[in-house]
Structure 1
């Protein structure tokens, strides 16, 4: 269902139904202006009727800002000449209302994570031809000016003031747009490498909504809580999906376990869409105040191979709450999901084509690891010119983002990205599979009083004889207060215990040959462990070998 079509439909039939609901957010970022008008910490909400009404003055303000430029940046050719407006704010509510408000007009929108390295932010803005950036960051504005960018940066407060100054009588209403019109510019990364941009047309998002509606239950009238930055594709899609199906999306800048339970109760939330780390925190919060979470029916999380410990923790405290872990890629769309265990085996949706191929593009037999290729109607046509030379989609419609995996009995098991596969002694070894094996150790397998593990990262180190050598890098359970090259915690399990565990859980070629300890594993701003940076730390001698 097209997002604007459904927004207009609900606004006419039930104008007071909530569309977007914001909660109390944290303190403004240190980089943001200390302007009381820019304080987004107060709770706020928009009904469907208010969303439609406010969208008219919002687009008028955006359009005027673009046209006021004497030397406008040229938008990437993939936008078909439509100016690009980017939002780079810490406020999830403000970001959501702008993205949703511009959906019914000739506009291409983008969300840029303000926590990205400044060079990444400047790079994507200048390379893709973004013409307007709504941001409270003075550092970003100064860096763009220094780079010679000719677009406009405006703060959230100033943008709202411009909206308020426009007479609604001088504006045009939102309309349902043509299917092939560019809608959103998204980014595949932005934390460890230069971001790759890609465009989603309105039809591609409509096709994606068809798939998620059939499997992930964003039903009309459902109140969905989607905590986290809207620059995350998972959160952004939850906003779009909820509005496209006539639901209410409740956003939060981050997950606050002290307030989220009361929000679930007070706002009658029955569905949560969140990253696995938030699901883990939700289970912990529910253990403290289970009465606040009893109305929660469904939790949807992205990312394959969901740790079984997260699923069991949620089931222990909220046995009536279902958990779906889906697999998808922002460039391609939803592909399949898992509803039990550790999410290792994924059921592929019936409208999605999946094949596993080798480097020569030959289709591999069941059980062999190779590159996962997907055929889906929602797939983007390709990456935006200038942001990468990588190919996404071939002329025959098959696409890949480099995920590795295997198919058995019609189910898909992911083995990570290309960099997550080690070739050791002629064997293909999935590094994420090794990490999953040590999850059981982390859950209390203390081996004669030895301490428990924190996070772990499997890596491949160069080796003249084997090609590469598999090692496991451990973050002690009490890590987080020292430097990356700290000494092992006294409670860290010894090498013999780790080897015994690995040999009991893994095939011989998967068993790590070395073990190291880092006080803290390197992570992205989103909390994911950076495997390549972990290798660099080990190779530079900053980790201690057991």
Structure 2
């Protein structure tokens, strides 16, 4: 992890510089270095309690356990997978404890994660909005032994499942920090040591867990620092839960560069604009919806955004509507839309035009493969594979049996794409490419044509069965004021090739989304199939 050395360096040279700033709390680099010792002291205290509990459990001395002692594995046993060529697959959390934070408090989550960076443990952030059963499965399956969470429902569910770890509320964690003597000073750790346990986005399935070593994160920071400008002393606003890989990495790159990361428990555009002005924020890292909201506020209150120099949007193919809003409201600010995957790291970005052409970063190798694994020629549509130093080794087997990398180190998250030299065009996931009337059609390409459709808040293109063509394109509009079918088709025919024009048009009050705000295509298709969308 690159942040510990920089935290110690800045704490010595500029102890008063802000490191992490919340809406109501802040901590400097000088304070953060000492804060990590208190975080570690609490973790050691709780880990000792876990070990004592496991010792009693193995001896049968733990009261109130309905199951036989031998049926309850010690913490970390769930991770003792069969031997693998990848260290992550056989990671033993009894040797290196896993500490998870599941909280909506962005400031305390951020400082705990930062504090753990200088010690031999793995840190994780769990989204408290995940379904309860999935939270339980993740905690049990990935070897988490210390959990910071205020959820009584999660506590009860883990107890029923026989979890032998320690859960404390955030309030209790902070109390223990005040009462316990600080631990030893943090230090820069070896590169092959795992530091973070992350999770896939969950757009198409339940989130999958994987580990990042410190060397992999250092490689990731080397790419982002060369292109996304997390500079020393720069104030970056990164609103959103730390359980999002985008927000978590914004924190990492700020601390790795000696910058200041401004976090937020929730996002409200007007309140954020006041913080931007008051705190001298010059760089914003956020999901597209947040960028769009800030652009709308900037139109009404431009003075609050005069210091903003760079907007970094996670997620490629930033819509034309958002690009237009930023260009109009923040003409002095540069907009970069990057493409990456938490498992792989930063891959490339787009900075102009319609945003569909992504330039691969130096050091990133890419190829597009066909259904038999063959490498396709430039311009052909297939599955995107990436080779990068920042890529994780594998998914943890407790959360999926899916493979991340092949034997030569190439990895895929199953994005579909076209590749022309070093220019990449993303076309969605495997289910986003459909065949209709003998033509291969990208559903995200269809959607992009409707980004500026008047009256539609959002759109989703899906495949619908058809007796003569096998399948046809159906467009689902969100919003009560969506235009009628004739207007939609006229709009489409001006912008799309005939085979891309939707054959059917539907309207819903609200499109189904993930907790991160991404439209769920499969769930939208189910609304159409079950007659829950109004056909226009």
Q: TM-score, normalised by structure 2?
A: 0.92
**CA distance in 1: counterparts of 2:533 and 2:267, whole angstroms:** 32
Residue number in structure 2 paired with 1:74: 76
**1:309 pairs with 2:321:** yes
Alignment of 1:351-370 (within 5 A): 351-370=363-382
Residue number in structure 2 paired with 1:532: 522
**CA distance in 2: counterparts of 1:397 and 1:202, whole angstroms:** 18
How many residue pairs align between the two structures? 503
Alignment of 1:440-455 (within 5 A): 440-442=452-454, 452-455=455-458
**CA distance in 1: counterparts of 2:270 and 2:489, whole angstroms:** 40
Q: Paired residue for 1:463, among 461, 466, 476?
A: 466
SS at match of 2:249: helix
Residue number in structure 1 paired with 2:14: 14
**1:218 pairs with 2:220:** no
Map Cα deviations across residues 366-425 of structure 1 (whole Å, 9 max, x no partner). Answer: 221100110110000010122111111122111100000101253100000111111222
- Taking only aligned residues, the RMSD between alpha carbons, in angstroms, comes to 1.4
Residue number in structure 2 paired with 1:31: none
SS at match of 1:341: coil
Residue number in structure 2 paired with 1:498: 488
SS at match of 2:238: strand
Alignment of 1:13-412 (within 5 A): 13-23=13-23, 43-69=24-50, 70-71=53-54, 72-74=74-76, 76-77=79-80, 78=88, 79-80=91-92, 81-168=95-182, 171-190=183-202, 193-412=205-424
**CA distance in 1: counterparts of 2:445 and 2:38, whole angstroms:** 51
Residue number in structure 2 paired with 1:32: none
Map Cα deviations across residues 441-466 of structure 1 (whole Å, 9 max, x no partner). Answer: 23xxxxxxxxx222111001223433
**CA distance in 2: counterparts of 1:181 and 1:302, whole angstroms:** 27
**CA distance in 1: counterparts of 2:155 and 2:403, whole angstroms:** 32
Bigger shift: 280-289 or 420-429?
A: 420-429
Bigger shift: 127-136 or 251-260?
A: 251-260
**CA distance in 2: counterparts of 1:191 and 1:344, whole angstroms:** 20
**CA distance in 2: counterparts of 1:544 and 1:283, whole angstroms:** 32
Q: Conserved in 2, the CA contact under 8 Å of 1:308 and 1:341?
A: no
**CA distance in 2: counterparts of 1:290 and 1:378, whole angstroms:** 38
SS at match of 2:185: coil
SS at match of 2:144: coil
Map Cα deviations across residues 461-515 of structure 1 (whole Å, 9 max, x no partner). Answer: 2234333221111112x4xxxxxxxxxxxx4322222112212211121111111
Residue number in structure 1 paired with 2:510: 520
Q: Which runs of 5+ in 1 are unaligned?
A: 24-42, 443-451, 479-490
**CA distance in 1: counterparts of 2:502 and 2:381, whole angstroms:** 19
How far is 1:167 from its partner? Answer: 1.9
Q: Which runs of 5+ in 2 are unaligned?
A: 55-73, 81-87
How far is 1:181 from its partner? Answer: 0.1
Q: Conserved in 2, the CA contact under 8 Å of 1:116 and 1:191?
A: no
Q: Relative to structure 1, is the Cα distance of residues 493 and 191 closer, same or farther in structure 2, using a 3 angstrom cutoff?
A: closer
SS at match of 1:104: coil
Q: Runs (4+) of structure 1 moved beyond 6 Å? A: none
Map Cα deviations across residues 7-33 of structure 1 (whole Å, 9 max, x no partner). Answer: 11111111111110111xxxxxxxxxx
Q: TM-score, normalised by structure 1?
A: 0.90
Residue number in structure 2 paired with 1:509: 499
Q: Conserved in 1, the CA contact under 8 Å of 2:41 and 2:181?
A: no
**CA distance in 2: counterparts of 1:464 and 1:391, whole angstroms:** 36
Residue number in structure 1 paired with 2:83: none
